[in-house]
Amino acid sequence: MAVEIMSGTQELAGESDLPRRPLGSAMKRGLACRCPSCGKGRLFSGYLKVTPVCAACGEDLSHQRADDAPPYFTIMIVGHILVPIILAVETAMTPPLWLQMTLWPLLALVMSLAMLPMIKGAVVGFQWARYMHGFDPQGDADDSRLFFATPNSEAGISGGAAR
């Protein structure tokens, strides 16, 4: 039983003859909105649109499946930064309600818009470094069907909601 679990884990972790990709630098390059492979090419061709191929090194970045992870992490981080500040300001100064109703949503919006591409870059860097989804040349190119709906499986789990 234990042996079975071990071999399954190794398979998932990508224990193969593929070259090791450093996770830290890939995620740092992603945070800087750069290609996780070379760190030079731009990761995005729009605000959040990942460029299909890196212009600097030719790495195929179309395999990324960041989906809902970047907004999830963005909401979590922005909330953890803002909520203590809001509580501290309310306790210390009790500013008028109109000011708080203007300031906090605006600050949350600006912070979220600023952080979203960086966090998406880090998620793409993580997926690239760990050979997830189509980044694994030895894997099943259609492994995304396990988690996400493909055009051929309209009745899939996430449907069109992820877009």
Residues that bind Zn ion (CB under 5 A): 35, 37-38, 41, 54, 56-57, 59
**Rounded distance between C-alpha atoms, residue 22 and residue 26, angstroms:** 6
CB of 19 to Zn ion, least distance (A): 15
C-alpha pair distances (Å), 114 with each of 22, 49, 78, 108, 109:
26, 15, 10, 10, 9
CB of 34 to Zn ion, least distance (A): 8
Pick the closer one to Zn ion by CB: 37 or 64: 37
Pick the closer one to Zn ion by CB: 61 or 132: 61
Backbone φ/ψ region at 39: left (φ over 0), alpha (ψ -120 to 50), beta: left
- Name the residue among 152, 124, 147 with its Cα closest to residue 60: 124
Pick the closer one to Zn ion by CB: 43 or 78: 43
CB of 139 to Zn ion, least distance (A): 21
CB of 61 to Zn ion, least distance (A): 8
Backbone φ/ψ region at 159: left (φ over 0), alpha (ψ -120 to 50), beta: left
Pick the closer one to Zn ion by CB: 29 or 133: 29
